[in-house]
Homo-oligomer: A and B are copies of this chain.
Amino acid sequence: MPNLEYIENGGVTSAAGFVAAGVHSGFRKDPKRLDLAIVEAEGPVPAAGVFTQNVFCAAPVTVSRAHLGQDAAGVARAVVINSGVANAATGARGLEDAERMAALTADAVGCAPEDVLVASTGVIGTFLPFAPLDALPALHAAASPAGGADAARAIMTTDTHSKECAVRYTSEAGDYAGATFTVGGMAKGSGMIMPNMATMISVITTDAPVAPRDAKAALKAAADVSFNKVTVDGDTSTNDTCILLASGKAAPAGSAPLQPGTPAFAEFEAALQAVCQNLARQMAADGEGASKLVTVNVRGAATPEEADLAARTVANSPLVKTCIAGHDANWGRVAGALGRSGARFNQEDVDIHFMGMSVCEKGLAVIFDEDEALRRFEEPEIVIDCDLGAGDAATTVWTCDFTHEYISINGDYRS
């Protein structure tokens, strides 16, 4: 596999053939707050999307699915996103509003409405205001290869910082050998503490040549090991949306789209997964009040489903999160979470490590160096490894710690 080079300040416009912008349009009261973003290709390009499974599916999700066509794999030219109003639980009028938002964007960009994908994030149950959309022509005019950062800021809600990532690699595979491809993206989403509003919106672009259905398959696979591994409860908000656009701009002259199953496609999948996992980790680390990124690794599970169940239960445990914030290697809380997760194992087979330190072996307490543990708790990322000793399945889930009020209540539980 070729080496992946992370691009400094890279984002959704790092790949060739894309421009973006973010402006304040009025969805937010604060004039300093950007609230409308656009990502554009030079023309219709292969596009794919993965969306929320929530029954209260938001209008823009329904519209973007429809515009992408069957299996949410088709073509698109632009993605327009507003923050502040989710246009969710808004019924038939919400659908009309989302279509109108796409049409107004199409007018500004100069394309067909079906080539525009829309996303919204914010409060549920209120209708989309339209005055802010008067800013669409200016938004389109402002779109540039340097606009990725503003676009990433404009889609933030409770995020404390914008989330961008881009990687570059030079292919070593067949017809594409020597070609340098870029995959970059932006995302919003935080709130491990507010799971069912933790809307995740991400737009990822690449200049690799990928056909719509193959882009969909690659995006689904990457999301399953990244965004879908950020706790909570396999949560999906009403508006979760992840879009991939592929311009093919970096393809060698006359080359065909990457073929699934080939080394060249595997290179692309690795780059896409790296970007998605980087963005997912940024989301987990940005949970409100979070001071740490928490990575939970579970191995030795009987099945992949049980590995996921066990890792999520630990990652979702308020007690585990509070003891981490309290720098307390209280592994009993991890054991309690594993034990109620539904994963099958025997407690006398369980090993638990905190930041590489063994704290529980064969289900029993291990005497460890508390001072060394305190030192390791200073790290910005806390890693918990659990081996259930029940099989070969493994997984990784990301979350954050719980701080403040939680600490005063639970952090000193052992004293």
A: residues with CB less than 8 A from B are 53-57, 86, 88-91, 123-126, 158, 193-197, 233, 235-238, 288-289, 313, 317-320, 322, 330-333, 335-340, 343-348, 360, 363-365, 403-406, 409-410, 413-414
Contacts and interface: CB of A to CB of B under 8 A. Distances in A.
Contact of A336 (B193, B196, B331, B340): B196
Given A335-B56, A409-B193, A233 B340 contact: yes
Q: Chain A interface secondary structure, helix, strand, loop or mixed?
A: loop
Contacts of A91: 348, 363-364
Given A89-B332, A337-B196, A125 B365 contact: yes
Contact of A197 (B193, B313, B413): B413
B319 A364 contact: no
Contacts of A403: 405
Contacts of A336: 54, 56, 88, 124, 196-197, 237-238
A364 B87 CA distance: 11
A289 B406 CA distance: 9
Contacts of A124: 330, 332-333, 335-336
A410 B338 CA distance: 29
Contacts of A313: 233
Contacts of A237: 336, 340
Contact of A288 (B343, B345, B348, B410): B410
Contact of A317 (B196, B404, B405): B196
Nearest to A317: B196
Nearest to A127: B365
Contacts of A289: 405, 409
B195 A317 contact: yes
